[in-house]
Amino acid sequence: MADFSVSLQVRDHECDMQGVVNHAVYLNYLEHARHEFLKTRGLDFAKLTAGGIIVVVARAEIDYRRSLRSGDHFRVTARPQRASAVRLVFEQEILLERGGDCMVTAKMTTTAVNERGRPYFPRELEALFLSASKS
């Protein structure tokens, strides 16, 4: 399956005093790409939540390779993989638009939780995964 990607640009307020993107901001970039990916599969994160499907990040593994700076144009990829009966993992990268340098690699493990807070894999996410595997 080809990676989904979304293009973004670093904004000044996302940078720290050293002039580089603050480490926590990368989580926002990664999340935005996952939400946009869901939309391409006919799912909306807010609507899932409103419907009682609470999708959460259970684990975030991030390797910071190089720093983004204000004004940089970059793209964020998202590639889902079914990891277990209740987990969906997104392999992600943040790549500089010009040159394609890899700035960040990440592995985001997600699951849905029911009303008791127990992990499960709702039918809607199964459909997402099946749709993604046909791309």
pLDDT score of 115 = 85
Q: Given pLDDT bands bounded at 50, 70 and 90, which one contains residue 3?
A: confident
Q: Given pLDDT bands bounded at 50, 70 and 90, which one contains residue 135?
A: very low
87-134: pLDDT as tens digits: 999 999 999 999 999 999 999 999 999 888 999 999 888 767 655 444
In the chain, where the domains are located: 4-133
- Separation of alpha carbons 79 and 68, rounded Å: 22
pLDDT score of 9 = 98
DSSP of 36-84: HHHHHTT--HHHHHHTT-EEEEEEEEEEE-S--BTT-EEEEEEEEEE-S
CATH fold group of domain 4-133 = Thiol Ester Dehydrase; Chain A (3.10.129)
pLDDT at 2 over 60: no
46-90: pLDDT as tens digits: 999 998 999 999 999 999 999 999 999 999 999 999 999 999 999
Mean pLDDT of 10-22: 96
Contacts of residue 127, defined as CB under 8 A and 6 or more positions apart, other chains included, come to: 41
Mean pLDDT of 35-44: 91
Longest dimension (CA), the chain: 47
In the residue annotation, 16 being an active-site residue is answered as yes
Choose, from 16, 44, 63, 101, the residue flagged as catalytic: 16
- Separation of alpha carbons 135 and 48, rounded Å: 22
Cβ atoms of residues 124 and 53 within 8 Å: yes
